[in-house]
Amino acid sequence: MKTRRIYLLTLILLSLIMQGQAQESWKLEDCINHALQNNIQIKRSELQEKVAQQQFTQSAFELGPGISGYFNHQYLNGSTFNQYELKFERMENQGGNLGISSEITLFNGLYGLNNRARLKYVLESQKQSTEILKNNVTLNVVAGFLQVLLDTETVKLADEQLKLTEEKLTKAEAELKLGKIPQSEYLNLKAQHVNQQASTTNAKNRLRYSTIELAQLLELDNPDEFSIEITPIAISEDPNDLDNKYTYNQIAELKPEIKKERFNVKSAQKSLNMAYGLLSPRISLGYTFGSGYDQSAWYGPNDNRIAYPDYTYGQQIKDYSQHVLQFRISVPIFQKFSNLTRINQSKVQLLDAKYALEEAEKKVYKDVQTAIADARASWDNYTAYSETVKSYKELYNQTSNKFELGMVNALDVGVAQNNLIQAEGQLLHAKYTYILRMKILDFYRGVPIAL
């Protein structure tokens, strides 16, 4: 019996521990790291990086010599020229050859070196593509995380307003029984309470949906067990001091979109150099070591020949072995204009890559201008709504006090309360919009994202 109790207590303890781990709150940094490690698009882009890396590594080996071995064995039955008898005759014969050869290109218009440089820039460009995906995922996670924070504060605000309406409705019920307020006043307060209940339910549903969307963005299998750490965020930085040009220069040095296009321009330039290299002569050096064997082979005087099988294949291979050193020059004379066409195409591709770079730079500059303008507008909205909330809160308190004294009716209180709720909601939205805009600017300027 005692053992069974210990077993049950152990199971309960383990269950509580696992439940606590499953419901552990996630920080923003945890969400970003998890998303970067599990995003499918990022994983696929990293695979493309590996392919580009392998191509770049292979380009180094392409500059070295190639080595190959060969072996050939043939069976002949028919008329052929007997090189040992120096005449045509009908015969049945077997023979073959074998050896090893190597060749290295000494010069080919620097084609191989330019190709290696091109593949290096292709690799760097692919790395920047991965960085672009990581930046997009990071900003999406930040936006999703801030949306959950916004919805959380909205629920908290709605609960507070619901509590106030409940207190007023409870008090009104008591006063109605005592005949201190008319039925219409009570019904107005009850309608306000029902409306606030609906608003609170809607706020909780929005929070549930935004939490699920963030969990899906993190590729989590069970969004129901996901929750974030609620962190208070203080606003202190004023974006009006930001300078468009200075901020752009900061961002342009870090933006992977610009880096990628710069590498693409360099890659296109190397492709053009490779095309020009095809017009130059190809100089190569080769070496071959080989030998052969034949059933019709013999040696010695005619009246005392030593032939196969006494003249074995092994001995023949030793006797007929040879070393061949080749120096070759190949000059392209007419290639159906294919080389000139490739040069013209490479020129067009280089010009297009330069336009793409210019377009990326202009887009980044426009994005910086827009981001700064959005941050300033969000800051202005935040400061304006802060004052609005103060005014509506004071008006609501005065209206509530007058209602207690019987100077105004419940409808006036409801109007004041609705105005306050709307202003507080607009203030929350402006606050988190401003935070998101500043986080985007900070991220592009190389400032680590943290709350």
Structural domains in the chain plus CATH codes: 26-63+108-280+339-444 (1.20.1600.10)
Angle at 265 between CA 264 and CA 268, to 5 degrees: 85
Q: Which amino acid is at 424?
A: E
Residues 94, 85: Cα–Cα separation, whole Å: 16
pLDDT value for 85 = 66
Residues 236, 249: Cα–Cα separation, whole Å: 24
Helix (H) or strand (E) holding 342: helix 338-404
pLDDT value for 244 = 66
- With pLDDT > 70 as the criterion, what percentage of the chain qualifies? 90
Q: Residue 77: beta bridge partners?
A: 92
- pLDDT tens readout for residues 97-142: 999 999 999 999 899 999 999 999 999 999 999 999 999 999 999 9
- pLDDT tens readout for residues 303-324: 788 888 888 899 989 988 999 9
- pLDDT tens readout for residues 381-429: 888 988 888 888 888 888 888 877 778 776 777 788 788 888 888 888 8
pTM above 0.75, yes or no: yes
Within its chain, how far is the Cα of 277 from the centroid?
36
Residues 146, 141: Cα–Cα separation, whole Å: 8
Q: Which amino acid is at 353?
A: A
Q: Residue 286: beta bridge partners?
A: 103, 326
